[in-house]
């Protein structure tokens, strides 16, 4: 991308409904040269522009190794995301990026990768799952602990069967409550799934994304189990405007979430999260 603030026209190639309010959109840039030039790392995000409406930060949710297209998984909560939800295949929106540091996959090399995600928080971690599955011998165990409020709030259920198969991934899923829906797996909040796995703490790198309260409880539990703070990474969400560390909308203490994050190691944000974590 030539200018970090310039949105590029991107065509919606496919839309897959994940839940009642969340869908995965497959995009390709209209300009083949811009598309060929574009790449991202797992955990990075784009700014989505809807002309006349505004911009919103959205994580890349697809395999970063895929070159023909990329995906965003978006929950319709407000003006920009609600406007995207009314678009159809073939429509054009603006995208600029990628921004952010992404997940520290280099630090995770050779170690066990523990992914803990809640709700749509699995979106920025799905590229990690696909990356590790593709480069399987470069990592230790891959553990995925995922949960949502109810069965109908689970995202990426289309991937579950593939992720459940085989010895490459240990996958546990839970819901807070069943709400009368068919469900035969775990019930309880996501951090409780840590009881389902046997960790080798010093050799584990934990990547966490979801509601802040879920991330805090997960960090507390991991620390109790002996996972060093340096091995724990969380993705923070803050109101974002420019995404290039100019406007200050996303300040988290002295840090810009857009440039210094959105992924932070636990020691980087421990003080900002406050005592008790």
Ligand X SMILES: Cc1cc2nc3c(=O)[nH]c(=O)nc-3n(C[C@H](O)[C@H](O)[C@H](O)COP(=O)(O)OP(=O)(O)OC[C@H]3O[C@@H](n4cnc5c(N)ncnc54)[C@H](O)[C@@H]3O)c2cc1C
Confirm or reject binding of residue 59 to ligand X (CB under 6 A): yes
Kindly report the backbone phi and psi dihedral angles of residue 269, in degrees, each rounded to the nearest multiple of 5, phi listed first: -115, 0
Confirm or reject binding of residue 172 to ligand X (CB under 6 A): no
Confirm or reject binding of residue 81 to ligand X (CB under 6 A): yes
Confirm or reject binding of residue 46 to ligand X (CB under 6 A): no
Q: Which of residues 203-242 bind ligand X (CB under 6 A)?
A: 237-238, 240
Tally the C-alpha atoms within 13 A of residue 232's C-alpha that lie toward its C-beta: 24
Confirm or reject binding of residue 154 to ligand X (CB under 6 A): no
Which among 53, 79, 63 has a CA at the least distance from the CA of 24? 63
Stretch near ligand X under the rule CB under 6 A, chosen from 67-75, 88-96, 135-143, 184-192: 67-75
Total binding residues toward ligand X, as defined by CB under 6 A: 22
In angstroms, what is the minimal distance from the CB of 226 to ligand X?
29
Q: Which residue lies nearer to ligand X by CB, 14 or 110? A: 14
Stretch near ligand X under the rule CB under 6 A, chosen from 75-83, 129-137, 171-179, 200-208: 75-83
Q: In the set 17, 39, 79, 135, which binds ligand X (CB under 6 A)?
A: 79
Confirm or reject binding of residue 56 to ligand X (CB under 6 A): yes
Q: In the set 75, 96, 126, 131, which binds ligand X (CB under 6 A)?
A: 75
Q: Which two tokens stand for residue 121?
A: 């928080």
Confirm or reject binding of residue 78 to ligand X (CB under 6 A): yes
Confirm or reject binding of residue 116 to ligand X (CB under 6 A): no
- Among positive and negative, which fits the CA dihedral 243, 245, 246, 249? positive
Confirm or reject binding of residue 58 to ligand X (CB under 6 A): yes
Q: Which residue lies nearer to ligand X by CB, 36 or 77? A: 77
Which among 49, 46, 43 has a CA at the least distance from the CA of 1? 46
Q: In the set 10, 80, 125, 169, which binds ligand X (CB under 6 A)?
A: 80
Confirm or reject binding of residue 122 to ligand X (CB under 6 A): no
Q: Which residue lies nearer to ligand X by CB, 64 or 204? A: 64
Start-to-end C-alpha separation, the chain: 39
The CB density around residue 37, as the number of other CB atoms within 10 Å, is 12
Confirm or reject binding of residue 77 to ligand X (CB under 6 A): yes
Positions touching ligand X (CB under 6 A) are: 45, 54, 56-59, 72-75, 77-82, 120, 123, 237-238, 240, 262
């Amino acid at each position: 991308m030539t200018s970090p603030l310039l949105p590029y026209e991107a065509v919606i190639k496919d839309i897959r409904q994940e839940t009642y309010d969340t869908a995965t959109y497959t995009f390709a840039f209209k300009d083949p040269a811009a598309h060929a030039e574009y790449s991202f790392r797992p955990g990075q995000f784009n700014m989505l522009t809807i002309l006349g409406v505004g911009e919103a930060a959205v994580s890349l949710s697809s395999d970063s190794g895929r070159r023909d297209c990329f995906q965003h998984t978006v929950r319709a909560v407000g003006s920009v995301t609600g406007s995207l939800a009314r678009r159809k295949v073939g429509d054009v929106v603006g995208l600029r990026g990628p921004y952010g540091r992404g997940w520290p996959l280099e630090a995770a090399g050779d170690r066990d990768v523990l992914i803990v995600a809640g709700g749509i928080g699995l979106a920025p971690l799905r590229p990690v799952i696909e990356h590790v599955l593709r480069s399987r011998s470069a990592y230790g165990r891959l553990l995925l602990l995922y949960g949502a409020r109810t069965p109908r709030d689970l995202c990426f259920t289309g991937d579950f069967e593939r992720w459940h198969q085989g010895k490459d991934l240990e996958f546990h899923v839970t819901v807070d409550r069943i709400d009368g829906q068919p469900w035969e797996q775990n019930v309880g909040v996501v951090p409780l799934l840590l009881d389902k796995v046997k960790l080798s703490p010093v050799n584990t790198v934990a990547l966490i994304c979801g509601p802040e309260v879920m991330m805090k409880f997960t960090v507390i539990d991991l620390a109790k189990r002996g996972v060093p703070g340096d091995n724990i990474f969380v993705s923070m969400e803050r109101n974002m405007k420019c995404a290039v560390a100019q406007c200050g909308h996303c300040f988290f203490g002295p840090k810009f979430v857009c440039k210094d994050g959105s992924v932070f190691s636990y020691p980087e944000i421990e003080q900002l999260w406050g005592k008790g974590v």
